Structures are given as C-alpha cells and as structure tokens.
Structure 1
Amino acid sequence: MALRPLDNALPIAPARPKKQPKVAVSIQKLSDLGVNDENRAPLPPTTSDATIDYIPSENLKALSDPEIKIHRLVEGLESKDWLKVCDSLNNARRFAFYHSTLLLPILEKVMSVLVKAMKNPRSALCKTSIMASSDIFNTFGDKLLESTTSDAFDQMLLQLLLKACQDKRFVCEEADRALKVMVMSMTPVPLLHKLRAYVSHASLRVRAKAAISISHCVSKMGLEEMKEFGLAALVQITAELLNDKLPEAREAARSTVISIYKAFTENEEQKQESWQSFCQSSLPAIHAQAIVKIVPSS
C-alpha cells in the first residue's frame, strides 16, 4: 500500500554551497610594471621602448614644410603621449639643425619641455631630451643666454649635471656628452659664472661633474679671459675643489690649475710676478701651498 505524504511535513532545505578556498593574489609594485626607478638597474625595454630610435645628430634630416610644422611642435611637445613627445623632441632637433630661425622664438618653451622630459623616469624620454639639448647647444651656443631667461638655462644645466650622476650608464654618458658640447659651443666666461654655483652643491657627484666642466671651460681660456672672470676668484674656486671628497673633482681641479698656470706664465707682463707669490696673495697659506705643489714654481 502506498504511503501518503504528511500534510505537516517540513520542506527540505537546499544544500548550502561550499565556500570557495581563498587564493592569494600577488600585487605588483609600480616599479615592476614598466616604470624605471633611478635607484635600481634599468628594466628591459618594453615593446613601446623598443620603437624609440635614437637618431645620431649627423643622421637627422631636414623637415618638409617647416613653416607649417613649427606651429605643431609645441603641441606635440606638450602631449601626454610620451612617444609623441619623443617624436616632437627629434623634430625640435631637426629644427635646430636646419631651421633654427623658426625655432628661436619658442626656444625657451622648448627648453622648459626638455627639463620636464629629463625629470621623467622613462629612460627613453630622458635620453632623447638630453640628445636634443646637445643639438640645441651646438646650434645656438651663447644665444641660449641671450634669448632665454637665466632661470631656463639654469634649470637645464642642473638637470644635465644630475643626469650625468645617474647610475643608468646610457643616460649618464649622454649627459656627459651634452655637457662637453655645452662647453665647446659657449663663451667660457659667462658659462663659468653659471658653473661656479655648483662648486658648493650638496651632492658630491654634482660637484665633481661641475668641476670637470669648469676644467674643460678653463682649458679654452687665455689669460685675458681669466682676468675678465677674475683670476683670484678662479684659483679660489679651484682650491675649494682640490679639497673635495671625490677624486674626480680633485683631478679636474688639478687640470684647472695647470691651465691657469700655463696662461699665467706664458704672458710676458705677468712674469714680473711669480706664480707662487700670486697664489699666496690670493689664497690662505694652506690652500696656496696645495696649489703651488701641483706645478713647479715659475
């Protein structure tokens, strides 16, 4: 006989789903997601980085329709797309080489973008901006001080000194080249006035890079130019660098002393005063002694 269901029977509850086991998910840091950290080794190039072409200056080609493209240059430099900024920086280099009169009116704006790009942690953008600064130095030379504000030049000089101190070798080497081009393309005296500010910089490495640029600058100068800057001031700067902690700064200072000494002793009028007497009259005794030891007394 079939059993009848009970009218008061409770409904059977559905089975509760089992809890899913928790899975640990690793979270990548920003520095692991394609952004280079200046204090770490450079990351391998990404697909985007690999598309950057570092064009040597001698391989740059002139632009077609430069009068039209100059109006688009600033827009490209201010783009939020870093690849477009790199392309615009290379165009700025082309303008510097082949159409410099068109670039001159917006030169300060271009320098501002260069400084911003040098601060960018993306190495490709940083290197491209440094290469652009070399070409701008090479083309405009002293006009950079005549056609732009002092602050614009100072900011670019500071960034080049900082980048020359980096651990990223290819950025550091590019900045060193740019500083050499700067020295070769500009009149020594006004440039020395700019460089002397970094002799007392808080960073040892910045001081060393500034000392090297000062040495290159002084090697181009004759005695009259040294006197225009201030011969006593020049040996005082050099004496300060001779006591620096980094050997690169001290070696650059010794090279500077030799350049000053050669200019001093080759001048017929200056021979009436001995090199040793000049150093003793311009420096404290202990510093004068350190300077005189570098080269034989005249």
Structure 2
Amino acid sequence: MALRPIDNALPITPDNLRPKKHAKVSIQTQKRASEIGVNDENRAPLPQPVDAASVDYIASENLKPFQDPESSIQSLVEGLDSKDWVKVCESLNDVRRFSLYHCGLLLPVLEKVMLVVVKAMKNPRSALCKTSIMAASDIFDAFGEKLLDSADSSAFDQLLLQLLLKASQDKKFVCEEADKSLTALVNSIAPLPLLQKLHGFVSHGNLRVRAKAAVSISNSVSKMGSEEIKEFGLVLLLQTASDLLNDRLPEAREAARSIVFSVYKVVSENEKPNPEEAWQSFCETNLSTVQAQSMIKVVSSSQ
C-alpha cells in the first residue's frame, strides 16, 4: 500500500537537514560580552586603584608651617574623618605640621587626633599605616608628657599598643618606622610615667610585643637616676628582668641584661667593700633560687 504524503510537509532540502541553533546560546554570548565590556562604549570606566607610591612620606624637617593655621585647623578634623584614605594621609601630614609649628591649636582636639592615628595604624593599607606612625612620632616630640595629663588616657594606651604591634610585624618599612616612633616616645616622655605604661606589656601574649616593650623599658631605665629607679621599684625591675631573661627572643633577653646592670648599679653603689655580696643577697631575697643564680651569673660573667 502506498504511503500518503503528510499535509504541509516541507520539502527535504540540505538546509532543512542542518541542526537549528538555540536562541539562548546567542543571548548568553551577548551577556558575556556585555559583562567584560566588549565593544561597549557606553560602559563607565572602572575606577583605577590609587598607587601607594603616590603617597609622599615627608621627613619632619621638610614639613612647612601653615600660612593661616587658624583657618586650617577648622578643616583638619573633617579631613581626618574622610572615607578617602589618601585624603586621610594628607590630613595626617597636616597633623604633623600642626604638631611641629602650631601645637597650641592642635591641643584641644588632640585626643580625637590620637584616636584617628590609632585607627589609621590598624588599616591594612601600608601607606596609611606608615603615615600614621610618622604622625605619632611628631606628636610625641611636640607634646611629651602632656599626652598623659588627660583624665582619660585610653587614647594613649591604644596608641602605645598599636606601635608595639606594628614594630612586631613582618612589613619591614612599617616595622622600622614603628621602632623610630618608640624611640621618639622614650626620648620625649619622662622615664617614670612611661615605665608605668610599658610595664604591662612585658607579659603580653605576643612574644614580639614583649620584646619591643622590653627594649623600650631598657632604654627608659638607662636614662633614670638611682632615685627614680628606686621610686619605680628595684624589686619590680629585678623580677621583670628575671622573667625576660628566659624569653624566647634574643632582643628581649638582651634588654633584660641591660635592666639587670641598671639595677645592680643602684643596689651596689653604696656597698663599696663587697658589692657582689650585696647583689647576691638582694637577688636571693627577692627571687627563687634558680632565678637568683641567673641574675648573679649575668653580672659575674661581665666582670
């Protein structure tokens, strides 16, 4: 029996034998093209990241005073609060200029400025972090012990902690700048009040922070006279040195030895006939037997 032709059937041609393309393939292709910006002149250009190298690290001696500091101080706080980190860097350099040349105008807003400096130190951008550390150094040089005069010294405590942390990290150029700032701190604030702030950090959980605090304590103690050391506490310094002498980092151990010699000098200064005996008695009275022997050995090995 013959087959009947199907109504409306298309004639078989080579074109009808080719598989048809699905529309969604072309739609997806167009979408991908638009996502990567191919031939799209109407797309807004992506913002270009600011190169950290464009931030200037200006030495303190190269900073200039303001021509009109009274009007400039009004815009300083606004600049420090900016969400643009480059603008914050510029404002921190202005803080340095005020510290060096117009510190009286900066004093009323100093606590807020210090909190901004702390916040900037915590920022992951190394350029902003380093600029804030440089600002801290100039603030120390300008204000010294005035930083401790306020009833609420938490801003200074936070600043000190951040400096110790930054001096302990792996980014060399940030670490070196923080070390300079800690040196500026030791040189600008009297040893006794600074020791009272630093002492709490020698038991910090971060061994690098302990080491940096130990170095700053050692540098402060080396500037103190006998009466100041006695006022802070000979026994407290001896026990601190004893703890640090067994620390894991050589930097902490070397600082501990320096502290030991400072304490030994005070203990033995009025014991001309037998200074070693006075030192031995002092150590054995205030330390365990093992600790005392370590302290005695530090001094005897240097003689």
Using structure 1 for the length normalisation, give the TM-score. 0.84
**What do residues 33-77 of structure 1 show as CA deviations (whole Å, max 9, x unaligned)?**
xxxxxxxxxxxxx65312111001111110111011111111100
Aligned to 1:235: 238
In structure 1, what residue type is equivalent to 2:197? K
Q: Unaligned stretches of 5+ in structure 1?
A: 1-5, 24-45
Aligned to 1:160: 163
Cα distance in 2 for partners of 1:281, 1:124 equals 51
Cα distance in 1 for partners of 2:268, 2:73 equals 51
Cα distance in 1 for partners of 2:81, 2:107 equals 18
Q: 1:15 to 1:147 in 2, by over 3 A?
A: same
Instruction: Measure how far apart 1:295 and its partner are.
Output: 1.2
- The equivalences for 1:17-28 within 5 A come to 17=22, 19=25
In structure 1, what residue type is equivalent to 2:298? I
Cα distance in 2 for partners of 1:157, 1:80 equals 24
Cα distance in 2 for partners of 1:103, 1:148 equals 18
Cα distance in 1 for partners of 2:288, 2:220 equals 25
Cα distance in 2 for partners of 1:127, 1:109 equals 19
Cα distance in 2 for partners of 1:271, 1:75 equals 64
- Are 1:254 and 2:257 matched, yes or no? yes
- The equivalences for 1:92-131 within 5 A come to 92-131=95-134
Q: Given that residues 154 and 194 in structure 1 are in contact (C-alpha distance below 8 angstroms), is that contact kept between their aligned partners in structure 2?
A: yes
Using structure 2 for the length normalisation, give the TM-score. 0.82
Q: Given that residues 264 and 270 in structure 1 are in contact (C-alpha distance below 8 angstroms), is that contact kept between their aligned partners in structure 2?
A: no
Aligned to 2:284: 280
In structure 2, what residue type is equivalent to 1:78? D
Q: Unaligned stretches of 5+ in structure 2?
A: 33-48
Cα distance in 2 for partners of 1:64, 1:113 equals 24
Instruction: Measure how far apart 1:17 and its partner are.
Output: 3.5
Cα distance in 2 for partners of 1:101, 1:63 equals 13
Q: CA RMSD of the aligned region, Å?
A: 2.7
SS at the partner of 2:90? helix
Single out whichever of 83-92 and 9-18 deviates more from structure 2.
Answer: 9-18
Aligned to 1:9: 8
Q: Given that residues 164 and 175 in structure 1 are in contact (C-alpha distance below 8 angstroms), is that contact kept between their aligned partners in structure 2?
A: yes
| Aligned sequence identity (%) | 61
Larger helix proportion, structure 1 or 2? 2
- How many residue pairs get aligned? The number is 271
Q: 1:115 to 1:15 in 2, by over 3 A?
A: same
Single out whichever of 245-254 and 124-133 deviates more from structure 2.
Answer: 245-254
Q: State the structure with more CA Rg.
A: 2
Q: Given that residues 111 and 152 in structure 1 are in contact (C-alpha distance below 8 angstroms), is that contact kept between their aligned partners in structure 2?
A: yes
Q: Given that residues 134 and 178 in structure 1 are in contact (C-alpha distance below 8 angstroms), is that contact kept between their aligned partners in structure 2?
A: yes
Cα distance in 1 for partners of 2:197, 2:272 equals 30
Cα distance in 2 for partners of 1:153, 1:11 equals 88
- The equivalences for 1:176-255 within 5 A come to 176-255=179-258
Q: Given that residues 267 and 278 in structure 2 are in contact (C-alpha distance below 8 angstroms), is that contact kept between their aligned partners in structure 1?
A: no
Instruction: Measure how far apart 1:265 and its partner are.
Output: 3.0
Stretches of 4+ aligned residues off by more than 6 angstroms: 11-14, 20-23, 268-273
- 146, 149, 159: which is aligned to 1:146? 149
Q: 1:170 to 1:184 in 2, by over 3 A?
A: same
**What do residues 134-179 of structure 1 show as CA deviations (whole Å, max 9, x unaligned)?**
0001111111000362211110000000000110000000000100
Q: Given that residues 226 and 266 in structure 2 are in contact (C-alpha distance below 8 angstroms), is that contact kept between their aligned partners in structure 1?
A: yes
Quick one: higher RCO (CA 8 Å, sep 6+), 1 or 2? 1
Cα distance in 2 for partners of 1:268, 1:137 equals 39
Cα distance in 2 for partners of 1:91, 1:165 equals 27
SS at the partner of 1:278? helix
Cα distance in 2 for partners of 1:235, 1:279 equals 8
Instruction: Measure how far apart 1:266 and its partner are.
Output: 3.4
Cα distance in 2 for partners of 1:76, 1:267 equals 57
Instruction: Measure how far apart 1:293 and its partner are.
Output: 1.1
- Are 1:296 and 2:300 matched, yes or no? yes
SS at the partner of 2:64? coil
Q: Given that residues 89 and 129 in structure 1 are in contact (C-alpha distance below 8 angstroms), is that contact kept between their aligned partners in structure 2?
A: yes
Instruction: Measure how far apart 1:282 and its partner are.
Output: 1.8
